[in-house]
Amino acid sequence: MGKIRYALFDLDGTLSESAPGITKSVQYALRHFGIEEPDLKKLETFVGPPLRDEFHRRYGFDDAQCTAAVEKYRERYRNIGIFECEMYEGIYELSKACSGKGIHLAVASSKPEEFVVRIMEHFGIAQYFDVICGARMEDDHHNISGVDSKEYVVRKALQALSDADGAVILDRDNAVMVGDRDLDIYGAIRNGVTSVGVTFGYGTRQELEEAKADHIFDTVQELSDYLLAGES
């Protein structure tokens, strides 16, 4: 692989430490169903995958219950939980350095795009990104798998980067997708770009290795060194 020209990032667990807002909003939704979960750590599995997938996997909710759970989650998340997060230490510096060196940056998140844009703008980091892509809000009301959703949003971000860069066909040999969960790796693989896993988020090294990530980094500094390798 030559010099990196395009870098796509997941949001939750990759750019932002977002568990507090997500887990408290899941806790709020579960309470609607009479389920009390005082240990927010146990709800961190909701960080990353589509909400429907996790409500079904963890609690056996049927389609109607999943739809209701997502709606209750959004009641709290939309105006409270959304900003109960912060960018990881070093992410601002990494984003600014990459942008300054001509690397085109994008967010490719499974979170609804409305929320992704609000978070990026609220924390003042949107300025470094050429493209901000998220999932379609309506996807949470259909049985669209996490892998398919991530494949879609990565493909959408790549196309938007290509359009922004004036390229007819984006050179995917010089593109990477960075994320903390296996879905991020699968999304990269399905779109033919280099997959980069990070362990400072909410996934595990084992999860990333089993997904066959091309590279795995433990710190923001290691990720920065990789992305900026060859830049002067």
Q: What is the CATH number of the domain that holds 135?
A: 3.40.50.1000
101-153 tens-digit pLDDT: 999 999 999 899 999 999 999 999 999 999 999 987 655 444 444 567 899 99
Q: Is residue 34 part of a domain?
A: yes
One domain for residues 79 and 179: no
> Is pLDDT above 70 for 184?
yes
Q: Is residue 232 part of a domain?
A: no
Query: What stretch of H or E contains 223?
Result: helix 220-227
Residue 213: give the domain boundaries: 6-17+85-227
Q: Is residue 1 part of a domain?
A: no
Q: Which of 39, 60, 83 is the last residue of a domain?
A: 83
Q: Can you tell me the distance from the alpha carbon of 162 to that of 130, in angstroms, rounded to the nearest whole number?
A: 10
137 φ/ψ angles, rounded to the nearest 5 degrees = -55, -40
If one counts the domains in the chain, the total is: 2
Whole-number Cα distances in Å, 58 to 36, 40, 55, 69, 208:
14, 14, 5, 12, 21
For residues 174-184, average pLDDT: 96
66-99 tens-digit pLDDT: 999 999 999 999 999 999 999 999 999 999 999 9
194-222 tens-digit pLDDT: 999 999 999 999 999 999 999 999 999 99
Q: Is residue 25 part of a domain?
A: yes
Q: What per-residue confidence (pLDDT) applies to 163?
A: 82
List beta partners, residue 198.
217
One domain for residues 58 and 101: no
One domain for residues 53 and 144: no
Residue that the structure tokens 């219950």 belong to: 65
Active site residue 63: no
Catalytic-labelled residue, pool 10, 140, 180, 182: 10
With contact defined as beta carbons under 8 Å apart, do 213 and 185 qualify? yes
